[in-house]
Structure 1
Amino acid sequence: MRKVILLLLLFCVAFPITFSAQPLPIEVFDVTQGKVIKSIPLDEKNKAEALKLVKSTDSLFPKLNPTPKTGFMIKVIFDPAEDVETKVFKQPVKQVIFIFPDAEKPYILIFNEKDQPMFYYFSEDFAPFLEMLGID
C-alpha cells in the first residue's frame, strides 16, 4: 500500500497538472450576417478600454426594441465582475455588449451579477477601443 501511495505522489510531482483559467474572448457579432465574425483575447489593455466606455454611461436607452437590424455588437465578459459607479448606476458589472447600429448612436447592454439587462448610452470616444480590436 505504501508503494502505491509513494508512486502516486511521485507521479504527481513529476507530472503536475496545471489548470489555468483562460479569460473568455471578446466576441464581435455581425448583425446582418447573424454570426460571430471575430474573437479577440481579453487582455488588461482592452479590458481597461472597455471599462472606460462602461464608466461613461450617462443616460438610459429609451427605445423598446434595442436590437438593431444592421451593424455589429461586441461582447465583453468580466470575470470576476467589475464594480462600476456612474451617474446612472452603481453595481458590479458581469458582462457588457456594445451595440453599434449603422447610422445611429451606439449604446451598451450591461448585465449585473444577477444577469439583469440594462441599456444605456455612453459618452466616451469608442474609436480607440475599436482600433485596438482591429475593427473598421
Structure 2
Amino acid sequence: MKAKILILFSLAVCLLLPYSAAAHAGSEGTEQPKPVQAFDVEAGKVVKTVPNSKEYQAFAKSWLDSVTGLAPQISANEKCGYVYRIPLMEPVSVKTTGLAVQTSDVFLFYCPNKPPLLLIFDENRKPYLLLFKADIGPFLKTIAIP
C-alpha cells in the first residue's frame, strides 16, 4: 500500500523537478508560468510540453470544481495512458467531504476505458487522489495527446 503511494509520488516528483531550478533562475517579476506537460507512463518520459495559458488554467479549475471525493483506490494505474501536469498560476482551494486543501499543481491521470483521476498535493506535499465529474474531452483535444 505504501509502495503504491511512493510510486505515485515519485511519478509526480519526476514531473516537478525540472522546474524547481528554473523557478529560481528567472529574475524577479519576470517569472513565466510553468508549462503544461504530458507524461507517457509506458515510455517513462515527458512527451510534450506546451506553454501554460488561461485555457489550461480553466480546464484545471473546472476539474477541481467538480471533485466528488477521494478515490477509493490508493493509486492510479501506473501502467496505462498519460499523466498531464498543469501548474496553477495561483493556488486553488479544493473542498469535498472530509477534505479542504489548497494546491498549486494538478495532475490528470488518463487511462483509456477507465475514469480519469486527479492527483493534487496540499501545502505539505501530502498527495490526494480524487474522483471528479468534469469532461476532459476538450482538454485532450487541445493538448493533442493521445
| TM-score bin (small chain) | 0.7 to 0.9
Aligned equivalents of 2:106 and 2:124: distance in 1? 13
- Alignment correspondent of 1:72: 82
State the shift of 1:92 in Å. 1.5
More helix by share: 2
Aligned equivalents of 1:117 and 1:104: distance in 2? 21
1:106 aligned onto 2:116: yes
1:31 aligned onto 2:47: no
How many residue pairs were aligned? 120
Instruction: Please tell me whether the aligned partners of residues 69 and 96 of structure 2 are also in contact (alpha carbons under 8 angstroms).
Output: no
- Alignment correspondent of 1:118: 128
Unaligned runs of 5+ in 2: 1-26
Superposed CA deviations along residues 71-125 of structure 1, whole A, max 9, x for unmatched, are 1010111243123344563321111110012321111101122211000111011
1:55 aligned onto 2:70: no
Unaligned runs of 5+ in 1: 1-16
Identity over the aligned pairs, expressed in percent? 28
Runs (4+) off by over 6 Å: none
- Alignment correspondent of 1:10: none
Alpha-carbon RMSD: 2.0
User: Residue type matched to 1:127 in 2?
Assistant: G
Partner SS state of residue 51, structure 1: helix
Partner SS state of residue 91, structure 1: strand
User: Residue type matched to 2:84 in 1?
Assistant: I
Shift of the 41–106 alpha-carbon distance from structure 1 to 2, 3 Å rule, reads: same
Aligned equivalents of 1:24 and 1:88: distance in 2? 30
- Normalising to structure 1: TM-score of the pair? 0.77
